[in-house]
């Protein structure tokens, strides 16, 4: 692809163009403490292309020209910025895109997510975070397809699977795909001592779920400190 074509892929005055939107989202996520120290990542599927933030950069300073662009069908890069490395999260983002038809996938290192996995490590169910009877649970979809339309209700129990972390981020692929298969309704997977992957059909659904989950994780840590059980008895 000619250089000018590769530039055109990330050049737009529309603030909702994926290359602009990823930069704006990451600035917001930085102030929330989700992607500091170059951690985390974000990817958007737009028509037949994937837009992916690069690896190892200051996430609040990214520019549209830092974006990697991949052809969704062939998985070939249409655009690879010189001097930048593709995100190690790419195979994990692809799992959400291909297995759950996601439109956006967000990976954060939220401290509340990490603390929740550490607290679950000590329970009899270290591989799932469960919480019930909180209004904010309504921010999370019930599952996929017409018979699971709509969001969870107040009396439902939200369950998010937790997978083991691996030495290399790419190596999470198999267990992440396994968790997605094992939990066919989930829109998120926690990674032990690491963070979380959250996706949705579009940017708004992925981002607002990320917010709802982080709210719930922070509340869960405070509830634990105050001796209040996560699942109402």
Q: Left (φ > 0), alpha (ψ -120 to 50) or beta: where does 138 sit? A: alpha
User: Which position among 126, 133, 159, 173 is part of the footprint of a second copy (CB under 8 A)?
Assistant: 133
107 is in an annotated binding site: yes
* Minimal distance, residue 175 CB to a second copy, in Å: 14
Q: Is 135 designated active site?
A: yes
| Count of residues interacting with a second copy (CB under 8 A) | 46
Q: Does 55 bind a second copy (CB under 8 A)?
A: no
Least distance (Å) from a second copy to the CB of residue 70? Answer: 24
Q: Which range in 2-10, 97-105, 142-150, 159-167 contacts a second copy by CB under 8 A?
A: 159-167
- Cβ neighbours of residue 127 closer than 8 Å, sequence gap 6 or more: 120, 161, 162, 163
Q: Which of 24, 47, 73, 135 is catalytic?
A: 135
Q: Does 84 bind a second copy (CB under 8 A)?
A: no
Q: Is 193 in the site for a second copy (CB under 8 A)?
A: yes
The binder of a second copy chosen from 1, 5, 7, 38 (CB under 8 A): 38
Q: Which of 14, 47, 135, 147 binds a second copy (CB under 8 A)?
A: 135
Residues annotated within a binding site for substrate: 89
What is the set of active-site residues? 135
Report the interface residues with a second copy, using CB under 8 A. 33, 36-39, 58, 109, 111, 114-115, 118-119, 121-122, 133-136, 139, 153-155, 165-167, 191, 193-195, 204, 207-209, 211-212, 214-215, 218-219, 221-226, 228
């Amino acid at each position: 692809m000619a250089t000018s074509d590769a530039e055109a892929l990330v050049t737009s005055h529309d603030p909702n163009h994926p290359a602009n939107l990823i930069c704006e989202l990451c600035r917001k996520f930085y102030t929330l403490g989700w992607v500091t120290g170059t951690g985390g990542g974000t990817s958007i599927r737009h028509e037949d292309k994937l837009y992916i933030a690069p690896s190892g950069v200051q996430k609040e300073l990214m520019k549209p020209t830092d974006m990697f662009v991949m052809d969704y069908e062939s998985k070939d890069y249409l655009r690879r910025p010189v001097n930048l490395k593709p995100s190690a999260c790419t195979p994990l983002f692809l799992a959400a895109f291909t297995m759950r038809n996601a439109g956006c996938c967000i990976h954060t290192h939220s401290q509340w997510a990490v603390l929740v996995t550490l607290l679950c490590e000590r329970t009899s169910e270290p591989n799932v975070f469960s919480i019930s009877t909180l209004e904010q649970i309504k921010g999370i979809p019930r599952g996929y397809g017409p018979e699971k339309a709509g969001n969870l209700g107040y009396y439902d129990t939200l369950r998010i699977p937790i997978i083991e972390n691996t030495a290399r981020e790419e190596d999470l692929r198999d267990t992440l795909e396994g968790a997605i298969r094992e939990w066919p309704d989930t829109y998120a997977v926690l990674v032990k001592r690491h963070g979380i992957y959250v996706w949705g059909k579009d940017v708004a659904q992925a981002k607002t779920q990320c917010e709802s989950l982080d709210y719930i994780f922070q509340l869960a840590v405070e509830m634990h400190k105050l001796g209040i059980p996560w699942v109402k008895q």
